Amino acid sequence: MQLTITNLSKSYSNGVKALDNVSLAIPPGMFGLLGPNGAGKSTLMRILATLQEADSGSAMLGTIDVLKQREDVRKVLGYLPQEFGVYPRVSAYQMLDHIALLKGVIDDGERKALVDALLQKVNLWEHRKRRIAGFSGGMKQRFGIAQSLIGDPKLVIVDEPTAGLDPGERNRFYNLLTEIGEHVVVILSTHIVQDVQELCSNMAIINKGRVLFAGSPHDALAEVKGRIWERRIEKGELDACRSAHRVISDKLIAGRPVVHVLSDSPLEAFVPVPPTLEDVFFSHISGSDRVTNP
Ligand code: ADP
Protein backbone atom coordinates (compact mmCIF):
# COMPACT_ATOMS: atom_id res chain seq x y z
CA MET A 1 0.00 0.00 0.00
CA GLN A 2 1.43 3.38 -0.99
CA LEU A 3 0.72 6.76 0.59
CA THR A 4 0.30 9.55 -1.94
CA ILE A 5 0.16 13.12 -0.66
CA THR A 6 -0.82 15.79 -3.18
CA ASN A 7 -0.66 19.57 -2.74
CA LEU A 8 -1.38 19.48 0.97
CA SER A 9 -1.55 22.91 2.63
CA LYS A 10 -2.28 24.05 6.17
CA SER A 11 -2.18 27.49 7.77
CA TYR A 12 -2.78 28.23 11.44
CA SER A 13 -5.04 31.03 12.60
CA ASN A 14 -1.97 33.11 13.53
CA GLY A 15 -1.04 33.18 9.82
CA VAL A 16 1.80 30.61 9.97
CA LYS A 17 1.78 28.52 6.80
CA ALA A 18 2.87 25.20 8.34
CA LEU A 19 2.41 23.21 5.09
CA ASP A 20 2.70 24.80 1.67
CA ASN A 21 1.64 22.55 -1.23
CA VAL A 22 3.32 19.39 0.04
CA SER A 23 3.38 16.47 -2.42
CA LEU A 24 5.09 13.16 -1.63
CA ALA A 25 4.82 9.56 -2.82
CA ILE A 26 5.68 7.19 0.03
CA PRO A 27 6.10 3.47 -0.72
CA PRO A 28 6.18 0.70 1.93
CA GLY A 29 9.39 0.79 3.95
CA MET A 30 11.03 3.36 6.18
CA PHE A 31 10.52 6.91 5.00
CA GLY A 32 12.43 9.70 6.74
CA LEU A 33 10.86 13.13 7.01
CA LEU A 34 13.73 15.40 7.91
CA GLY A 35 13.44 19.05 8.84
CA PRO A 36 14.51 21.53 11.51
CA ASN A 37 12.20 22.46 14.39
CA GLY A 38 9.21 24.36 13.08
CA ALA A 39 9.49 22.88 9.55
CA GLY A 40 5.95 21.48 9.61
CA LYS A 41 6.70 17.83 10.36
CA SER A 42 4.31 17.41 13.28
CA THR A 43 1.56 19.22 11.41
CA LEU A 44 1.93 16.78 8.51
CA MET A 45 2.09 13.79 10.88
CA ARG A 46 -1.01 14.92 12.78
CA ILE A 47 -2.98 15.45 9.57
CA LEU A 48 -2.03 11.95 8.34
CA ALA A 49 -2.95 10.54 11.75
CA THR A 50 -6.42 12.17 11.39
CA LEU A 51 -5.84 14.38 14.46
CA GLN A 52 -5.94 17.63 12.53
CA GLU A 53 -7.55 18.92 9.33
CA ALA A 54 -5.75 20.22 6.25
CA ASP A 55 -6.94 23.35 4.40
CA SER A 56 -6.56 21.82 0.94
CA GLY A 57 -4.95 18.97 -0.97
CA SER A 58 -5.32 15.22 -0.65
CA ALA A 59 -3.71 12.16 0.89
CA MET A 60 -4.52 8.63 -0.30
CA LEU A 61 -3.40 5.47 1.50
CA GLY A 62 -4.02 2.87 -1.19
CA THR A 63 -7.71 3.48 -1.90
CA ILE A 64 -8.45 5.16 1.45
CA ASP A 65 -8.94 8.92 1.36
CA VAL A 66 -7.04 9.90 4.50
CA LEU A 67 -8.64 13.33 4.82
CA LYS A 68 -12.20 12.10 4.41
CA GLN A 69 -12.38 8.46 5.55
CA ARG A 70 -10.98 9.09 9.00
CA GLU A 71 -12.49 6.02 10.63
CA ASP A 72 -11.01 3.77 7.93
CA VAL A 73 -7.59 5.36 8.41
CA ARG A 74 -7.69 4.84 12.17
CA LYS A 75 -8.27 1.11 11.67
CA VAL A 76 -4.99 0.74 9.78
CA LEU A 77 -2.96 3.40 11.58
CA GLY A 78 -0.26 3.03 14.21
CA TYR A 79 0.76 6.36 15.74
CA LEU A 80 3.61 7.04 18.11
CA PRO A 81 3.39 10.72 19.09
CA GLN A 82 6.33 12.82 20.23
CA GLU A 83 5.11 12.76 23.81
CA PHE A 84 2.51 10.60 25.41
CA GLY A 85 2.02 13.20 28.09
CA VAL A 86 1.19 11.39 31.28
CA TYR A 87 2.50 7.88 31.69
CA PRO A 88 0.07 5.71 33.54
CA ARG A 89 0.85 4.06 36.83
CA VAL A 90 -0.42 0.72 35.59
CA SER A 91 1.82 -2.07 34.33
CA ALA A 92 2.90 -2.40 30.70
CA TYR A 93 0.86 -5.58 30.43
CA GLN A 94 -2.33 -4.04 31.81
CA MET A 95 -2.00 -0.98 29.60
CA LEU A 96 -1.49 -2.94 26.36
CA ASP A 97 -4.35 -5.24 27.30
CA HIS A 98 -6.54 -2.19 27.86
CA ILE A 99 -5.59 -0.54 24.54
CA ALA A 100 -6.14 -3.81 22.67
CA LEU A 101 -9.61 -4.04 24.17
CA LEU A 102 -10.35 -0.45 23.12
CA LYS A 103 -9.16 -1.26 19.60
CA GLY A 104 -11.69 -4.08 19.46
CA VAL A 105 -9.73 -7.24 20.33
CA ILE A 106 -12.57 -8.61 22.43
CA ASP A 107 -11.68 -12.29 22.67
CA ASP A 108 -9.69 -12.86 25.91
CA GLY A 109 -7.47 -15.61 24.51
CA GLU A 110 -6.72 -13.71 21.32
CA ARG A 111 -5.92 -10.55 23.29
CA LYS A 112 -3.56 -12.37 25.66
CA ALA A 113 -1.70 -13.94 22.72
CA LEU A 114 -1.41 -10.53 21.03
CA VAL A 115 -0.18 -8.69 24.14
CA ASP A 116 2.33 -11.46 24.96
CA ALA A 117 3.69 -11.38 21.40
CA LEU A 118 4.00 -7.58 21.36
CA LEU A 119 5.80 -7.46 24.71
CA GLN A 120 8.28 -10.00 23.43
CA LYS A 121 8.71 -8.19 20.13
CA VAL A 122 9.67 -4.92 21.79
CA ASN A 123 11.77 -6.66 24.41
CA LEU A 124 9.66 -5.66 27.40
CA TRP A 125 8.50 -9.12 28.40
CA GLU A 126 10.59 -9.26 31.54
CA HIS A 127 9.35 -5.81 32.55
CA ARG A 128 5.69 -6.48 31.77
CA LYS A 129 4.60 -6.21 35.41
CA ARG A 130 6.39 -2.92 36.04
CA ARG A 131 4.59 0.43 35.99
CA ILE A 132 5.15 2.35 32.75
CA ALA A 133 5.66 5.56 34.74
CA GLY A 134 8.94 4.09 36.04
CA PHE A 135 10.31 3.08 32.62
CA SER A 136 13.44 4.64 31.05
CA GLY A 137 13.03 6.81 27.92
CA GLY A 138 13.97 3.91 25.65
CA MET A 139 11.55 1.53 27.36
CA LYS A 140 8.74 4.08 27.03
CA GLN A 141 9.49 4.42 23.31
CA ARG A 142 9.44 0.64 22.87
CA PHE A 143 6.16 0.49 24.76
CA GLY A 144 4.90 3.21 22.39
CA ILE A 145 5.81 1.06 19.40
CA ALA A 146 4.06 -1.96 20.94
CA GLN A 147 0.81 -0.02 21.38
CA SER A 148 1.08 1.45 17.88
CA LEU A 149 1.28 -2.07 16.40
CA ILE A 150 -2.00 -3.30 17.88
CA GLY A 151 -4.42 -3.91 15.04
CA ASP A 152 -1.79 -4.82 12.42
CA PRO A 153 -1.37 -1.30 10.99
CA LYS A 154 -0.59 -0.54 7.35
CA LEU A 155 0.67 2.96 8.14
CA VAL A 156 2.91 3.64 11.13
CA ILE A 157 3.73 7.23 12.02
CA VAL A 158 6.57 7.91 14.42
CA ASP A 159 7.15 11.53 15.46
CA GLU A 160 10.65 12.48 16.73
CA PRO A 161 11.21 9.11 18.37
CA THR A 162 14.85 9.16 19.41
CA ALA A 163 15.02 12.48 21.27
CA GLY A 164 16.26 11.73 24.75
CA LEU A 165 17.39 8.15 24.09
CA ASP A 166 20.93 7.04 24.92
CA PRO A 167 22.91 5.37 22.09
CA GLY A 168 22.09 1.82 23.23
CA GLU A 169 18.38 2.56 23.53
CA ARG A 170 18.45 4.29 20.17
CA ASN A 171 20.00 1.23 18.50
CA ARG A 172 17.40 -1.10 19.96
CA PHE A 173 14.68 1.24 18.78
CA TYR A 174 16.22 1.44 15.27
CA ASN A 175 16.28 -2.37 15.02
CA LEU A 176 12.66 -2.59 16.01
CA LEU A 177 11.56 0.03 13.48
CA THR A 178 13.53 -1.63 10.69
CA GLU A 179 11.77 -4.91 11.37
CA ILE A 180 8.36 -3.23 11.16
CA GLY A 181 9.32 -1.26 8.06
CA GLU A 182 9.72 -4.40 5.99
CA HIS A 183 5.98 -4.70 5.51
CA VAL A 184 4.24 -1.36 6.00
CA VAL A 185 4.64 2.35 5.34
CA VAL A 186 6.61 3.76 8.27
CA ILE A 187 7.06 7.53 8.38
CA LEU A 188 9.75 8.65 10.72
CA SER A 189 9.67 12.35 11.42
CA THR A 190 12.90 13.68 12.85
CA HIS A 191 15.40 16.54 12.97
CA ILE A 192 18.20 14.03 13.57
CA VAL A 193 20.03 13.30 10.32
CA GLN A 194 21.55 10.10 11.71
CA ASP A 195 18.08 8.58 12.19
CA VAL A 196 17.39 8.90 8.48
CA GLN A 197 20.87 7.90 7.37
CA GLU A 198 20.77 4.64 9.30
CA LEU A 199 17.20 3.62 8.71
CA CYS A 200 15.47 5.01 5.68
CA SER A 201 15.31 3.83 2.08
CA ASN A 202 13.49 7.01 1.07
CA MET A 203 13.38 10.48 2.51
CA ALA A 204 12.24 14.05 2.16
CA ILE A 205 13.69 17.26 3.51
CA ILE A 206 11.16 19.91 4.48
CA ASN A 207 11.59 23.43 5.75
CA LYS A 208 9.02 26.17 6.32
CA GLY A 209 6.27 23.86 5.11
CA ARG A 210 7.88 23.12 1.74
CA VAL A 211 9.43 19.97 0.35
CA LEU A 212 13.01 20.82 -0.60
CA PHE A 213 14.11 17.32 -1.57
CA ALA A 214 12.44 13.93 -2.02
CA GLY A 215 14.23 10.74 -3.02
CA SER A 216 16.63 8.15 -1.66
CA PRO A 217 19.49 9.08 0.68
CA HIS A 218 21.78 7.84 -2.12
CA ASP A 219 20.30 10.36 -4.58
CA ALA A 220 20.53 13.04 -1.92
CA LEU A 221 24.25 12.43 -1.50
CA ALA A 222 24.79 12.31 -5.27
CA GLU A 223 23.35 15.84 -5.53
CA VAL A 224 26.21 17.40 -3.57
CA LYS A 225 29.01 14.96 -4.46
CA GLY A 226 32.24 16.86 -5.19
CA ARG A 227 30.69 20.17 -4.05
CA ILE A 228 31.43 20.11 -0.30
CA TRP A 229 34.61 21.88 0.81
CA GLU A 230 36.00 21.95 4.31
CA ARG A 231 38.31 24.31 6.15
CA ARG A 232 39.43 24.72 9.74
CA ILE A 233 39.44 28.41 10.59
CA GLU A 234 39.86 30.72 13.59
CA LYS A 235 36.73 31.88 15.42
CA GLY A 236 37.28 35.48 14.30
CA GLU A 237 37.29 34.45 10.63
CA LEU A 238 33.76 33.02 10.65
CA ASP A 239 31.89 36.17 9.58
CA ALA A 240 34.32 36.89 6.74
CA CYS A 241 34.06 33.28 5.60
CA ARG A 242 30.27 33.52 5.62
CA SER A 243 30.24 36.62 3.47
CA ALA A 244 32.76 35.19 1.00
CA HIS A 245 31.27 31.71 0.62
CA ARG A 246 28.08 29.73 0.92
CA VAL A 247 28.76 28.25 4.35
CA ILE A 248 26.30 25.44 5.00
CA SER A 249 27.55 24.45 8.45
CA ASP A 250 30.13 25.27 11.07
CA LYS A 251 31.08 23.01 13.92
CA LEU A 252 33.49 23.50 16.76
CA ILE A 253 36.02 20.70 16.71
CA ALA A 254 38.56 20.83 19.53
CA GLY A 255 37.54 24.45 20.10
CA ARG A 256 38.01 25.70 16.53
CA PRO A 257 35.34 26.11 13.87
CA VAL A 258 35.38 23.69 10.96
CA VAL A 259 33.26 25.06 8.15
CA HIS A 260 31.63 23.25 5.25
CA VAL A 261 31.03 25.28 2.11
CA LEU A 262 28.96 24.36 -0.95
CA SER A 263 30.78 25.25 -4.15
CA ASP A 264 30.89 23.91 -7.70
CA SER A 265 34.54 24.87 -8.10
CA PRO A 266 37.62 24.39 -5.89
CA LEU A 267 38.29 27.01 -3.22
CA GLU A 268 41.71 28.09 -2.08
CA ALA A 269 42.67 26.73 1.36
CA PHE A 270 39.64 24.39 1.42
CA VAL A 271 39.83 20.61 0.99
CA PRO A 272 37.15 18.53 -0.72
CA VAL A 273 35.33 16.10 1.59
CA PRO A 274 32.91 13.27 0.83
CA PRO A 275 29.38 14.54 1.54
CA THR A 276 27.27 13.26 4.40
CA LEU A 277 23.50 13.46 4.67
CA GLU A 278 24.07 16.27 7.13
CA ASP A 279 25.73 18.29 4.34
CA VAL A 280 22.74 17.61 2.09
CA PHE A 281 20.37 18.68 4.85
CA PHE A 282 22.23 21.90 5.63
CA SER A 283 22.75 22.76 1.97
CA HIS A 284 18.98 22.60 1.42
CA ILE A 285 18.09 24.40 4.63
CA SER A 286 20.61 27.19 4.06
CA GLY A 287 19.42 27.43 0.45
CA SER A 288 15.78 27.89 1.43
CA ASP A 289 16.70 30.41 4.13
CA ARG A 290 18.59 32.38 1.50
CA VAL A 291 15.55 32.61 -0.71
CA THR A 292 13.26 33.84 2.05
CA ASN A 293 15.79 35.88 4.07
CA PRO A 294 18.29 37.25 1.56
P1 ADP B 1 7.91 20.63 13.42
O2 ADP B 1 7.16 19.42 13.86
O3 ADP B 1 8.70 20.40 12.16
O4 ADP B 1 8.76 21.22 14.52
P5 ADP B 1 5.32 21.98 13.45
O6 ADP B 1 4.42 21.30 12.50
O7 ADP B 1 5.16 21.68 14.92
O8 ADP B 1 6.85 21.75 13.01
O9 ADP B 1 5.18 23.55 13.27
C10 ADP B 1 5.21 24.20 11.99
C11 ADP B 1 4.95 25.69 12.17
O12 ADP B 1 3.61 25.88 12.60
C13 ADP B 1 5.83 26.36 13.22
O14 ADP B 1 6.10 27.65 12.78
C15 ADP B 1 4.96 26.36 14.45
O16 ADP B 1 5.29 27.42 15.30
C17 ADP B 1 3.57 26.55 13.86
N18 ADP B 1 2.52 25.90 14.66
C19 ADP B 1 2.45 24.60 15.02
N20 ADP B 1 1.32 24.34 15.72
C21 ADP B 1 0.66 25.52 15.81
C22 ADP B 1 -0.59 25.93 16.40
N23 ADP B 1 -1.38 25.06 17.02
N24 ADP B 1 -0.95 27.23 16.27
C25 ADP B 1 -0.17 28.11 15.62
N26 ADP B 1 1.01 27.80 15.06
C27 ADP B 1 1.43 26.53 15.13
For the cut 70, the answer to whether the pLDDT of residue 289 exceeds it is no
For the cut 50, the answer to whether the pLDDT of residue 293 exceeds it is no
pLDDT at 104: 85
Q: Decide: 42 and 16 in contact? Cβ < 8 Å.
A: no
- Answer yes or no: is the C-beta of 37 below 6 A from any ligand 1 atom: yes
Q: Residue with the nearest Cα to atom 25 of ligand 1?
A: 12
pLDDT in tens, 55-109: 999 999 999 999 999 999 988 999 887 766 666 778 999 999 998 998 889 999 9
Q: Residue with the nearest Cα to atom 21 of ligand 1?
A: 12
Q: Is 122 left (phi over 0), alpha (psi -120 to 50) or beta?
A: alpha
pLDDT in tens, 214-269: 999 999 999 999 999 999 999 999 999 999 999 999 999 999 999 999 999 999 99
pLDDT at 85: 62
Per the prediction, the chain carries an average pLDDT of 90
Using most ligand atoms within 8 A of CB, pick from 43, 46, 160, 285 the residue to mutate for ligand 1. Answer: 43
Q: Decide: 146 and 124 in contact? Cβ < 8 Å.
A: yes
For the cut 70, the answer to whether the pLDDT of residue 199 exceeds it is yes
pLDDT at 84: 63
pLDDT at 286: 84
pLDDT at 203: 96
pLDDT at 294: 34
Using most ligand atoms within 8 A of CB, pick from 11, 14, 16, 52 the residue to mutate for ligand 1. Answer: 16
- Answer yes or no: is the C-beta of 18 below 6 A from any ligand 1 atom: yes
- Answer yes or no: is the C-beta of 12 below 6 A from any ligand 1 atom: yes
Kindly indicate the confidence band of residue 271, based on its pLDDT and cuts at 50, 70 and 90: very high
pLDDT at 191: 86
pLDDT at 122: 87
Q: Which residues contact 16 (CB under 8 A, 6 or more apart)?
A: none
Q: What residue type is assigned to position 153 of the chain? A: P
> Based on the number of CB atoms within 10 Å of its own CB, is 121 exposed (0-12), middle (13-18) or buried (19 or more)?
middle
Q: Which candidate, 198, 230, 189, 236, places its Cα nearest to that of 217?
A: 198
Taken in order 235, 239, 245, 251, is the CA torsion positive or negative? positive
Q: Which residues contact 121 (CB under 8 A, 6 or more apart)?
A: 146, 149, 176, 179
Q: Residue with the nearest Cα to atom 27 of ligand 1?
A: 12
User: What is the 12 CA–ligand 1 centroid distance (Å)?
Assistant: 8
Domain boundaries, the chain: 3-216, 226-274
pLDDT at 75: 86
C-alpha neighbours within 13 Å on the C-beta side of residue 147:
21
Q: Residue with the nearest Cα to atom 26 of ligand 1?
A: 12
In CATH, what number does 3-216 get?
A: 3.40.50.300
pLDDT in tens, 115-167: 999 999 888 999 999 999 889 888 888 898 888 888 889 999 998 877 777 88
- For residue 190, the cross-strand partners are 34
User: What is the 38 CA–ligand 1 centroid distance (Å)?
Assistant: 5
pLDDT at 1: 86
Q: Which atom of ligand 1 is nearest to the CA of 35?
A: 3
